[in-house]
Amino acid sequence: MELFFKQGTPKSKRFKTAADALIFSNIAMVFLNAATVYISPFVGLGLAIIMLSTAFVFAVRLPATAGHMPLIPDDKIPASNGIIKPLAHLWVFIALLTINSGLMYRMLNPSFAHLEFLTQWYWALPYIAALLIMRNMSLKVNRTYILYYALALNGISFIAFVFLDRSVASYLVVDTLMLGSFGVFDLFWWSILGEMLDYDSNPAKILGIGLSANVLGVLTGSMIARNVLSAQIQQMDLTLVALGVICLSFAILPPLHRRLSDLLKEHAFLTIYSEIPPSERDRLVESSDVFTKLTEREKDTASLLLEGKTYRMIAADMKVSENTVRTHVKNIYGKTGVQCRADLMNMVFKQTTAH
Q: What is the pLDDT of residue 269?
A: 40
> What's the pLDDT tens digit per position in 206-217?
888 888 999 999
**C-alpha radius of gyration, the chain, whole number:** 23
The gap from C-alpha 269 to its chain's centroid, in whole angstroms, comes to 13
Q: What is the pLDDT of residue 129?
A: 95
Asked if 346 contacts 334 with a C-beta cutoff of 8 angstroms, the reply is no
Lowest mean pLDDT among 1-5, 51-55, 205-209, 244-248: 1-5
- Please give the Cα distance from 83 to 128 (Å, whole number): 30
Q: What is the largest CA-CA distance in the chain?
A: 71
* pLDDT band at residue 94 using 50, 70 and 90 as cut-offs: very high
**Over pLDDT 70: what percentage of the chain?**
73
Q: What is the pLDDT of residue 84?
A: 82
- Please give the Cα distance from 279 to 273 (Å, whole number): 12
- Other Cβ atoms less than 10 A from the Cβ of 230: the count is 8
- Other Cβ atoms less than 10 A from the Cβ of 187: the count is 25
Q: What is the pLDDT of residue 176?
A: 95
The three-state DSSP-derived secondary structure of 24-61 is: HHHHHHHHHHHHHHHCCHHHHHHHHHHHHHHHHHHHHC
* pLDDT band at residue 352 using 50, 70 and 90 as cut-offs: low
Q: What is the pLDDT of residue 262?
A: 64
Lowest mean pLDDT among 54-58, 121-125, 136-140, 300-304: 136-140
Phi, psi of 292, rounded to the nearest 5 degrees = -65, -30
CA distance to 87, 174, 205, per residue, from 97 (Å): 15, 17, 21
* pLDDT band at residue 231 using 50, 70 and 90 as cut-offs: low
303 CB-contact burial (10 Å; exposed 0-12 / middle 13-18 / buried 19+): buried
- Please give the Cα distance from 127 to 177 (Å, whole number): 9
Closest CA to 269 of 147, 141, 355: 141
The gap from C-alpha 63 to its chain's centroid, in whole angstroms, comes to 27
**Over pLDDT 90: what percentage of the chain?**
15
- All domains in the chain, ordered by first residue: 80-271 (1.20.1250), 277-354 (1.10.10.10)
Q: Is the pLDDT assigned to residue 127 strictly greater than 90?
A: yes
Q: Is the pLDDT assigned to residue 69 strictly greater than 60?
A: no
> What's the pLDDT tens digit per position in 10-22?
555 677 888 888 9
Collapsed DSSP state (helix, strand, coil) of residue 68: coil
- For the chain, the straight-line distance linking the first and the last C-alpha, in angstroms and rounded, comes to 41
Asked if 90 contacts 260 with a C-beta cutoff of 8 angstroms, the reply is yes
Closest CA to 345 of 355, 327, 332: 332
When the pLDDT of each residue in the chain is averaged and rounded to a whole number, the result is 78
Q: What is the pLDDT of residue 74?
A: 46
> What's the pLDDT tens digit per position in 263-301?
665 554 444 555 556 666 666 666 667 777 888 888 888
Cα dihedral 33, 38, 39, 41, rounded to 10, equals 50
* pLDDT band at residue 128 using 50, 70 and 90 as cut-offs: very high
Q: For the chain, give the number of residues.
A: 355
- Please give the Cα distance from 96 to 217 (Å, whole number): 6
More confident residue, 4 or 67: 4
Q: Is the pLDDT assigned to residue 31 strictly greater than 80?
A: yes
Exposure string (b/e) for 36-60, b if CB count within 10 Å is 16 or more? beeeeeeebeebeeeeeeeeeeeee
Q: What is the pLDDT of residue 18?
A: 84
